[in-house]
Chain A
Amino acid sequence: MAFESLSDKLQNVFKKLRGKGRLTEEDVKASLKEVKMALLEADVSFKVVKQFIKAVESRAVGQDVMNGLNPAQMVIKIVHEEMISLMGDETTELSLNQGGVTVIMMVGLQGAGKTTTVAKLAGKFKQKGRKPLLAACDVYRPAAIKQLQINGEKQGVEVFAMGDSPSPVEIAKVAYEYAAANRFSVLLLDTAGRLHIDEEMMGELQQIKETVQVDQTVLVVDAMTGQDAVNVAGMFADKVGIDGVILTKMDGDTRGGAALSIKAVTGKPIFYIGMGEKLSDLEQFYPDRMASRILGMGDVLTLIEKAQQDFDEEKAKELEQKIRKATFGFDDYLEQMKQIKNMGGLSSVLSMLPGIGGKMKDLEALVDDRAMDRIEAMILSMTPKERANPDLLNPSRKRRIALGAGVDISEVNKLVKQFEQGRKMMKQMPGMMGGKMGKKGRFKLPF
């Protein structure tokens, strides 16, 4: 999980603070020194760290802290707030024109993930009912065009390509004409990776901008980038002009200091974060939530949002009824599992819960997403009758299910037992399900 190491570090610092009743100026300074080290190890730009520490110190030392009842909490709050303001106070969306073609140009260093990200973006726009067109402007890297074509096909988005002989400027121009003539609403230009100090290649991007009306220039940055992130972002902003940033490879264990630096240095927002290799793994960037995540508070908000988005309200209501009447069967269980899978698997759900982030490594062995696959196989090996009425399951039926699912019969027994226990529990507390949580419409998961 992103930032977990930084969270660990900061939590260690604050553990020391919690041990004391009151904070002295020295305490604040000492703890901030550790925060500083943690941030530097997280690849936050040195200058940004300096600025950050200064801001926190000036707020923490003095009245704010001394008047607080819990000084440690106060410092956490200040660190948190300053981090949010560093990353930009609000979430910024990539804006599209109302009419005509919105042109989005993706730029960045080699290997940042432009071609993958641009396909993810196209998929997102398609989901929102737009008509995106991908244009293959990387004529340099071997097979870059082919890669975009394959990704486009997977997303069901048309790819405009002219091979690798025309110049990228020419391709962009013709692609725009094609997009306008065929009523596409978004044109996404995938450009070649280039060094920010390569005058000629940077000039090419400027030329594209002079030739085609580019509405949004998006810089794609590898979240693992070190101190150089600010140079890269700064140069692209100066020479080409950027409107925002997408941070990729955030599903690694990078502490992602680049996220903190880039906004501070360029003043440009981070639109999205890339969270995996699947073409759907592109998430909104929320500065406040990310700050919470850095501080180890977990990303409950993202979890809730994801749950709401992925959880079908109708099915949830139906399920609630079933639970109340205790007619909850294996089919419903299967449905539940699908919902969790849609949310990125159990481990992804867990990693967003507070306090779990840092412990995810230990949990990894316990939470086996493949165990869910086995359960699914077992349930799918049951007859519809058996799924609706688990009481039918006698040893002979269980043996058949085990054979069908390719598991040991003990696993079937375990599943049935767990299921029975769960059902019993639900029967005992129908009040809870219809109570507080039910009204809010959140977390109707029965386990």
Chain B
Amino acid sequence: MADEKKGFFRRLVNGLSKTRDNIVAGIDSIFSGFSSIDEDFYEEIEEILIMGDLGVNTTANIISELRAKVKELGIKQPDECKQLLMDSIKAQMDVGETAYEFEEKKSVVLVIGVNGVGKTTFAGKLAGKLKDQGKNVVLAAADTFRAAAGEQLEQWAQRAGVPMIGGQEGADPASVIYDAIAAARARNADVLLCDTAGRLHNKKNLMEELAKINRILNKECPDSHRETLVVLDGTTGQNALSQARQFREVTDITGIVLTKLDGTAKGGIAVAIQSELGIPVKYIGVGESIDDLEKFNAEQFVNALFHVKTEE
């Protein structure tokens, strides 16, 4: 456990180093650069949070909470605000116990998202992770639209050492899902992991196709635990909120996967999504190799964001 924790933290710190540099450099300079808590001080914080992609609403919430606490606790020193601000953001992100019980149950995991966010890569990584845990996994390649999407997942399936069910390019993804369900049954699989085509959330037909896939899974696998994960690109700005909202209309989203957090992406959108939609971020992708997938941990995420050492 200690190892895993360390591993997680190191990865996050590495992955988020840029994020941290940007946000923390700013925040540190505020905490030391101001001698009193005034309007300019709040405005500066606001600016930094917005530049971290937290969004106007979430930033406003955080600031107003901070103001209230500063008043309530009679805080006078800007640096005392740092812990307060962190606690406040943690509170925003905290949606109770994040659930990973699907990893232990017989479950069906549906992976959805817009184009190019890293769904196939995530599906491949998760398959590898579950396989390592000794689970019997079946991958379904329901992206029959994009050129070579099936081949891409096939390579991940080989890396992970799990079987994959696919279809011809242009085939009905629903038929792939049916085949995969049958295959999962025949193999008595623990987890059926379904990769889907990227679709922009404002395309009615594609969203209907997704709703259909969702219905099939509900109908055919009533006893399985259902997990629907929306993959969001960590570099995406406020549109990620719109994506999460729209996908929630056609499926019951149980969690979010935030990818590409190894760049300078601020990852602040994770805060906005948790606070505005209450959907927990469950995994983060911090690289391109099969091990670069981590469970999300709000506490450590915020700590890493502000570069505070966690006890190991």
Contact = CB atoms under 8 A, between A and B. Distances in A.
Interface string A342-372: 0000000000000000000000100000000
B254 interface: no
A143 B154 contact: yes
Nearest to B155: A142
A252 interface: yes
Contacts of B237: 43, 224-229, 254, 257-258
Interface string A254-279: 11011000000000000000000100
A310 to B, nearest CB: 22
B71 interface: no
Contact of A225 (B55, B200, B235): B235
Contacts of B269: 226
Interface string B222-256: 00000000000101111110100000000000000
Contacts of A150: 147-148, 169
A227 to B, nearest CB: 5
A222 B233 contact: yes
A226 B266 contact: yes
A249 B199 CA distance: 10
Identify which of A147, A148, A150, A227 gathers the most chain B CB atoms within 10 Å of its CB.
A227
Contact of A111 (B116, B147, B169, B262): B116
Nearest to B47: A46
A110 interface: yes
A440 interface: no
A287 interface: no
Given A142-B151, A253-B202, A41 B238 contact: yes
Contact of A228 (B50, B116, B169, B263): B263
Contacts of B242: 253-254
A112 B264 contact: no
B148 A40 contact: no
B53 interface: yes
Contacts of B50: 40, 46, 227
Given A143-B155, A150-B147, A227-B52, A252 B114 contact: yes
A248 B239 CA distance: 14
Given A110-B260, A196-B263, A253-B242, A226 B235 contact: yes
B156 interface: yes
Contacts of A110: 116, 118, 260, 288
Interface in A193-236: 195-197, 222, 224-229, 231-232, 235
Contact of B152 (A143, A222, A232, A251): A143
A195 B200 contact: no
A28 B114 CA distance: 38
A197 B18 contact: yes
A277 B145 contact: yes
A385 interface: no
Contacts of B240: 224, 226
Interface residues of B, number: 45
A74 interface: no
Contacts of B18: 197
Size band of the interface chain A makes with B: 35 or more
A224 B114 CA distance: 10
A248 B200 CA distance: 12
A43 B238 contact: yes
A226 B236 contact: yes
Contacts of B200: 249, 251-253
A43 B239 contact: yes
Contact of A249 (B47, B115, B262): B115
Interface in B123-146: 145-146
Contact of A224 (B52, B169, B239): B239
Contacts of B53: 43, 226-228
Interface in A102-143: 109-113, 140-143
A151 to B, nearest CB: 5
B265 interface: yes
A37 B152 contact: no
26 contacts: A40-B50, A46-B50, A109-B263, A110-B288, A111-B115, A111-B260, A142-B154, A142-B155, A143-B152, A144-B148, A150-B148, A195-B260, A224-B233, A224-B239, A225-B235, A226-B53, A227-B52, A227-B53, A227-B266, A228-B53, A228-B264, A231-B264, A249-B200, A254-B239, A254-B242, A258-B237
Given A110-B116, A113-B116, A249-B115, 19 more contacts: A43-B238, A110-B288, A111-B117, A142-B151, A143-B151, A144-B148, A147-B147, A222-B235, A224-B233, A225-B237, A226-B235, A226-B236, A226-B266, A227-B50, A231-B264, A235-B264, A251-B200, A252-B202, A252-B239
Interface of B: 18, 47, 50-53, 55-56, 114-118, 145-149, 151-152, 154-156, 169, 200-204, 233, 235-240, 242, 260, 262-266, 269, 288
Sorted from nearest, which 8 A-B pairs have the closest CB atoms? A226-B237, A111-B116, A43-B237, A142-B155, A150-B147, A147-B148, A143-B151, A143-B152
Interface of A: 37, 40-43, 46, 109-113, 140-144, 146-151, 154, 195-197, 222, 224-229, 231-232, 235, 248-249, 251-255, 257-258, 277, 364
